[in-house]
Amino acid sequence: MKQKLVSIVTSVLTVLTVTTAPFSAAAAEKPMDYTIKDYTTAESFYNRVILSKAFQTSEDRAANGEMLQLPQYMLDRMTTDALVEAVLDYPYFYDIYAFEDVQVGVDLMMDTFNGVQELADRDDVATVLLDKYCDEEVLTDASADDDVFRLTNMEVLLAQDFVTTKFSKKDKCRFVKNVASKMEDKVASPVYGEFTNSLLFDLTEKNCKDSTILNDMQSVRDSATITYVYTPKGTAVAAYLNSSEPLSFWQRMKITLQYTAAYPNAELLALASGKYNCHSYAWYQQSTSNDKWINDPSAYWKDGSYKRTSVAAANRKMTYFSNSNNALQHSAVINSVSGSTITVTSKWGQCGLYKHNATYSPYTNCWLAYYYR
């Protein structure tokens, strides 16, 4: 572990050395001089600011932000393509990820950085940014030299209303098509996490008012998160894939304690989890490592894989239907039957996995039971 840590630190130092190598100590001490000769690109401007004594000694974030405002002569001469790169290179761009709601961070950047303000005013921002996004490759592997957030940062910009409102009809089609293609590649890549993969959809839903884009994006999101499991006879059953825990540790603890108090006679077998539900546990996989959430398991009995019976017995399935409208509410696995007492194991929605009397659960009011063998 110690050797791994040393290796990581060495890699970071190497990256920093490569980044700062072109600038001498003398250059770093040079007073700020906003001339076209010295600052022909935003990257060179940012680097000179960051290496300046004023920036290095300042502990005032607002003051440092002012130093990083792009000179007006640069804004006036930049193509929109170059301006997109200037915004992506902005040293404080990553501040957006310090906020629980990334959009709050984006809004703050919009208020405090003239580069993104200028970008928002460009009439061709949507087409130029989309062109750049379409050409950007999804990383299948990464090293210390790769900007693993570059694609995500582009998506953050694409999800802003100053972009989506300027999409042409053709741009809308290209946007959704490329999002779908890249989403598939990102999910298959170890470089990108679930948080960044879902961020574009979250921000688009928050900002975009175009119903066509919203509907198409929802379809793309569903296709990325919906998978299929199969009945014993091979019928496909739609399931939501939850490869990471949707509930926080504290949420899982709180809800488990609540149910322990409310249902003291139910035996807790596994903590609360949003990864799998009752139908998935009963019909698909009876394991706490299950990561599928199934809303409609009816294919399991409709295709004849399981047959309805009037007799409850160990290892058979049990369903709870609503008394009022005969809608399926819950599934369980029967552990044992003793007289009129049926003991089952079932997953209680987002809550825990319990062993309990069949009549002792949140679903008792839905009591219209069927058994399957």
Asked which of 91-100, 188-197, 281-290 is least confident by mean pLDDT, the reply is: 188-197
| Within a domain: 10 | no
Q: Residue 132: which of 75, 82, 166 has the closest Cα?
A: 82
pLDDT digits (tens, 9 = 90+) for 99-119: 878 999 999 999 999 999 999
Q: Alpha-carbon distance 235 to 102, whole Å?
A: 40
Same domain, 256 and 186: no
Q: Residue 269 maps to which CATH number?
A: 3.90.1720
**Domain end (from 174, 198, 226):** 226
What's the rounded Cα separation, in Å, for the pair 30 and 103? 36
Nearest Cα to Cα of residue 319 among 272, 364, 370: 370
Residues 207 and 301 in one domain: no
Identify whether 172 is part of a domain.
Answer: yes
Q: Which of 273, 290, 279, 289 is nearest to 351 (CA)?
A: 273
- CA 98 to centroid of chain Cα atoms: 15
Better-predicted residue by pLDDT, 157 or 263? 157
Check whether residue 213 and residue 249 sit in a common domain: no
Going by pLDDT thresholds of 50, 70 and 90, the confidence category of residue 326 is: confident
**How do residues 50-97 score in pLDDT, each as one tens digit?**
999 999 999 888 899 999 999 999 999 999 999 999 999 999 999 998
Tell me the HSE value of 281 on the side-chain side, using a 13 A CA sphere. Answer: 30
Is 263 within a domain?
yes
In a domain, residue 221? The reply is: yes
Residues 164-171: what's their mean pLDDT? 95
3-state secondary structure 40-87: CCHHHHHHHHHHCHHHHHCCCHHHHHHHCCCCHHHHHHCCHHHHHHHH
- Clarify whether residues 299 and 218 are in a common domain: no
| Residue 202 falls inside a structural domain | yes
Answer with the one of 173, 191, 226 that is the final residue of a domain: 226
Q: Which long-range contacts (CB under 8 A, 24 or more apart) does 6-14 make?
A: 11/144, 12/144, 14/144
Do residues 207 and 272 both lie within one domain? no
188's tokens: 């298959």
**Burial of 367 per CB tally in 10 Å (0-12, 13-18, 19+):** middle
Q: Are 78 and 151 in contact (CB under 8 A)?
A: no
Q: Are residues 187 and 136 in the same domain?
A: yes
Any domain includes 289:
yes
Q: In the numeric block, which tokens belong to residue 362?
A: 């949140």
Q: What is the pLDDT of residue 28?
A: 36
209 and 151 housed in the same domain: yes
Out of 226, 257, 280, pick the residue that ends a domain: 226
Residue with tokens 């990581």: 8
Say yes or no: 204 and 249 in one domain: no
Residue that the structure tokens 């369903």 belong to: 319
Contact between residue 314 and residue 345 where contact means Cβ atoms under 8 Å apart: no
Distance CA 96, CA 112 (A): 12
Q: Angle of helix 150-158 relative to helix 125-135, nearest 10 degrees?
A: 150
Q: Are 231 and 193 in contact (CB under 8 A)?
A: no
DSSP-derived secondary structure for 157-170: HHTSHHHHTT--HH
Q: Buried b vs exposed e over 282-306: b needs ≥16 C-beta within 10 Å? A: bbbeeeeebbbbbeebebbbeeebb
Q: In a 10 Å sphere around its CB, with 0-12 CB exposed, 13-18 middle and 19+ buried, how is residue 64 labelled? A: middle
CB atoms within 10 A of CB 165: 12
113 domain-assigned = yes
Same domain? For 94 and 43 the reply is yes
In a domain, 5, yes or no: no
Q: Are residues 173 and 251 both part of a single domain?
A: no
- Whether the pLDDT of residue 234 is over 90: the answer is yes
**3-class DSSP state of 124:** coil
Please write the tens of the pLDDT for every residue from 272-286.
Answer: 888 899 999 999 999
- Tell me how many helices (H) and strands (E) the chain has: 18, 10
Which region among 127-136, 283-292, 352-361, 364-373 has the lowest average model confidence (pLDDT)?
Answer: 364-373
Q: Supply the Cα-derived Rg of the chain in whole angstroms.
A: 28
Residue 292 belongs to domain spanning: 244-372
Q: Tokens 């791994």, residue? A: 4
- Is 190 found in the same domain as 153? yes
Predicted pLDDT at 3: 47
Mean pLDDT across the chain, nearest whole number?
85
Domain count across the chain: 2
Q: Are residues 82 and 192 in the same domain?
A: yes
Asked if 329 and 373 count as a contact pair (C-beta separation under 8 A), the reply is no
